[in-house]
Structure 1
Amino acid sequence: MSVTIAHEKNTKVESRSIGRKAAYWTVTIILAFSIALSGIGQLMRYGGNVDLVTDIGFPLYVTNILGAWKLLGVIAIIVPGLPRLKEWAYSGIFFLMTGAALSHAFANDYGDYGFHTILPLVYAALVIASWALRPKSRKL
């Protein structure tokens, strides 16, 4: 009987572990894809990226800085190993996203339905979720 209980416990632990890994990778892939597209758009000055920056008073060259840091951050989060670099990348992307939301809010540039402030905060929430769900192999 104790063997059956131990087996049931192991099965529950394994299913939680698999569920946690699936949640981590789902959130992380959504985050990485979104931030990478944003970074590429900024580097290429594609679409509304120019207006997003200049409408709040930032110089256009900021798109080069932000775009490069976003892509480097995504690479650091996705590649295996380098747990300390991952910590820096998570915090950097979090600061980028909360800084973007605050910059738009302070400039009274909320966008349609608050899009310019809400979307970066959604990305910041994804950063927190990915960081919290990461497996032991990706932690310090």
Structure 2
Amino acid sequence: MKTLRIVYWISTAIIALMMTYSGYAYFTDAKIDQAFQHLGFPAYFRIELAIAKFIGVVLLLAPVGGRIKEWTYAGFTFTFISAGIAHGISGDPMPVPVVPFVFFAVLAVSYFTYHKLNKSK
């Protein structure tokens, strides 16, 4: 049980830190604005996505349950899968489209350990 809790918190912390960093970068890094243009997204989408990431991090770490937590995981899932597809279709070099799927795998570990921990309560 203790190992499961450690795996949950490490995987959740990785996702939370990455999403916080990327949300911050969406507001402050001009290269991110260029990347969104390269992907064909409108400028306002970058801001919306940054705000959604910050909200998602709060909900991921908060002691909420039920549908709110499920939708938080779903939102991050959509974000990672969409990012991988967008980078792949736009012709980015091979490591770039794979990175979101790596984070998706970490998110999946967090999701499944979250449910295992809650089943045992």
Identity of aligned residues (%): 26
Gaps of 5+ in 1: 1-16
| DSSP 3-state at the match of 2:9 | helix
Q: Which ranges of 4 or more aligned residues in structure 1 deviate by more than 3 Å?
A: none
**Which whole-Å deviations, capped at 9, do the CAs of 1:6-28 have from their partners, x for residues lacking one?**
xxxxxxxxxxx000000100110
Following the alignment from structure 1 to structure 2, what is the Cα–Cα distance between the partners of residues 33 and 22? 16
Instruction: Verify: 1:136 aligned to 2:118, yes or no.
Output: yes
Aligned to 1:117: 97
In structure 2, distance between residues paired with 1:45 and 1:99? 22
Q: Secondary structure at the match of 2:42?
A: coil
Instruction: Tell me which residue corresponds to 1:41.
Output: 25
Which residue identity is paired with 1:32? A
| 1:83-120: CA deviation from partner (whole Å, max 9, x where unpaired) | 3111000011010111011011111123xxx2321111
Question: Relative contact order, CA 8 A, sep 6+: which one is greater?
Answer: 2
Contact map agreement 1:41 1:49 (CA 8 A) in 2: yes
Answering whether residue 7 of structure 2 is matched by residue 53 of structure 1, we say no
Q: Distance in 1 between matches of 2:67 and 2:42?
A: 32
CA distance in 2, matches of 1:98, 1:81: 24
After TM superposition, the score normalised by the length of structure 1 is: 0.78
Does structure 2 conserve the Cα–Cα contact (< 8 Å) formed by 1:54 and 1:60?
Answer: yes
- The structure that has the greater radius of gyration is 1
- d(CA) in 1 for partners of 2:17 and 2:95? 19
* Structure with more helix by fraction: 2
Name 1:76's counterpart in structure 2: 59
* CA–CA separation in structure 2 for the residues paired with 1:88 and 1:96: 12
